[in-house]
Structure 1
Amino acid sequence: MPSMCALWISGASAQEIEDRMGVALSAFAGQPIGIESVRLSPAPGIVEVQVINGPLLYATEDGGYFFLNGDLHQVSEAGAVNLTEERRSSARKEQLAAVSLEDMVVFSPKGETRDYVSVFTDVTCFYCQKLHREVDQLNAKGVEVRYLAFPRGGINSDGAKKLATAWCADDQQTTLTELKAGMDLPVNDCADSPIAAQYQLGQEMGVSGTPAIITSSGMMIPGYRPAADLIVALGLD
């Protein structure tokens, strides 16, 4: 049986906190999580929770909240809710709402649009190219794909020039598709290109690589995900 510091903390025993955190973390992780110990921390109202074969967490003394990787989580019967990520999602949603659709390269379903994802992309990125080949699958399920530019090499890179070529084209969708297929097209960089502004926006939102997929709720899905998985994540399967 795991060792545990026998103490009482504002009406909640270490055992009660251990039980509550164990249930919440297990639901959060999708697998059984054991708690090794619960101890007082130097900070008033905060306890140290040592996970068996896992990290050291800090939680409120009633076991209702804990910090993981700097994010604040609220413990519930269903598991744990990442309150920090909820706030980030809300901020991302507001930031993207301020971007005109005319400044994005949009691939819309032929029929009803049931949902959308915003994707920070780079034409030189292998997984961006792979995701782009699955846009038709997303469109077929009613998912609109809204591309924003994020040249991984910076705004003066060859990738940025290629992105500008797509954004400045008369037929943006075809040009972007051709560039992601590896075609070598003449550079076309127009004066009103939004590449730099979108790159800055991506940095402000915490984008560090491509593709970075953001749902209509503001949740960020970093990296490539197969279209079938995205459709499930959006609740459209």
Structure 2
Amino acid sequence: MRSLALAAIVAMTVGPAAALDLKNMTDAEREAFRAEVRAYLLENPEVLSEAIAVLQDRQAEQAARQDSTLIQANAKDLFSDPDDFVGGNPQGDITVVEFIDYRCGYCRKAHAEVKELINSDGNIRYIVKEFPILGDQSVIASRFAIAALRELGPEAYEKIKNGFYESFRGEVTVETLESFARDLGIDPAPVIAAMDSPDVTRIIKENHMLAQRLQVSGTPTFVMGDQMLRGYAPLETMRQIVAEERG
């Protein structure tokens, strides 16, 4: 912050073309310069706010460029993994990928808004990345959902995914999952039998490896076209990002 303010003051006082060699100042010159800097900041404290705002904008732009690079480098695993659930409009003009954990409170909070975004838009291809990070119960829930997708198909998976956020409460155990599936009209037997299969284990491991490459450490995280949204955001923010990507 101090260096930014100093640079601003130098530009205002000596001009952008002038060179100020702070290292070769005498002690007296350095003290005089410091006094001028202090006096200027006391008289014009808004300079600090302006400098901080510029720094934050630059950092945000740099982070966005880095995210875009990461997305492009991992595009195949993000957008074309045959193991993923694909919902919304499979032929949509923009793809939204969501990394989820069923035990995540912010994922639960985002669920209704993500649903509304997809349903009201009508032209979004929606991909789910099972990313259990909040303990053993998160892993069990993800195993159950992935096994349902593999054994019973996308319709059963979507019912289970929605149900985890909308109706499921309590501990995640084999017994509660069996009851949960029956309430949804789903036969739990083939799903329970496949939960610990090597393929389910592989999918979770690959999702974790993908998240690591993308520097994703929390849920929900969204990839929306060429942008990454790390954490919960309200519906209007997501709509704005979708509009930006289309533009």
TM-score interval, smaller chain: 0.5 to 0.7
1:189/1:98 Cα in 2 relative to 1: closer, same or farther (>3 Å)? same
Give the AA of the match of 2:235: A
Q: In the alignment, which of 220, 226, 238 is matched to residue 230 of structure 1? A: 238
**Is this contact kept in 2: 1:138–1:144, CA < 8 A?**
no
1:157-187 per-residue CA deviation (whole Å, 9 max, x = no partner) reads: 2201211110111222122222223524145
User: Which structure exhibits the higher relative contact order, with contacts defined as CA atoms closer than 8 Å and separated by 6 or more residues?
Assistant: 2
2:196 is aligned to: 189
Q: For 2:73 and 2:47, how far apart are their aligned partners in 1?
A: 36
In structure 1, the residue corresponding to 2:222 is in which secondary structure? strand
Q: In the alignment, which of 45, 48, 53 is matched to residue 52 of structure 1? A: 48
The alpha carbon displacement at 1:128 in A equals 1.0
**Is this contact kept in 2: 1:179–1:185, CA < 8 A?**
no
In structure 1, the residue corresponding to 2:108 is in which secondary structure? helix
Which stretches in structure 1 are left out of the alignment for 5+ residues? 15-34, 38-49, 58-65, 74-79
1:23-52 per-residue CA deviation (whole Å, 9 max, x = no partner) reads: xxxxxxxxxxxx959xxxxxxxxxxxx951
1:146 is aligned to: 127
Instruction: List aligned pairs for 1:142-181, cutoff 5 A.
Output: 142-153=123-134, 157-169=136-148, 170=152, 171-181=156-166
Give the AA of the match of 1:181: E
Instruction: List aligned pairs for 1:98-109, cutoff 5 A.
Output: 98-99=77-78, 100-109=80-89
Q: In the alignment, which of 128, 134, 137 is matched to residue 107 of structure 2? A: 128
Greater strand proportion = 1
1:200 is aligned to: 209
Q: In the alignment, which of 72, 82, 104 is matched to residue 93 of structure 1? A: 72
The structure with more radius of gyration: 2
Instruction: List aligned pairs for 1:25-104, cutoff 5 A.
Output: 52-53=48-49, 68=55, 73=58, 82-99=61-78, 100-104=80-84
**Is this contact kept in 2: 1:148–1:198, CA < 8 A?**
yes
**Is this contact kept in 2: 1:161–1:189, CA < 8 A?**
no
1:42 is aligned to: none
In structure 2, the residue corresponding to 1:98 is in which secondary structure? helix
1:40 is aligned to: none
Q: For 2:161 and 2:82, how far apart are their aligned partners in 1?
A: 15
**Is this contact kept in 1: 2:101–2:220, CA < 8 A?**
yes
The alpha carbon displacement at 1:93 in A equals 3.1
CA RMSD of aligned residues (A): 3.6
1:199/1:133 Cα in 2 relative to 1: closer, same or farther (>3 Å)? same
In structure 2, the residue corresponding to 1:113 is in which secondary structure? coil
Q: How many residues were matched structurally?
A: 182
**Is this contact kept in 1: 2:101–2:134, CA < 8 A?**
no
**Is this contact kept in 1: 2:224–2:241, CA < 8 A?**
no
1:158/1:228 Cα in 2 relative to 1: closer, same or farther (>3 Å)? same
**Is this contact kept in 2: 1:93–1:216, CA < 8 A?**
no
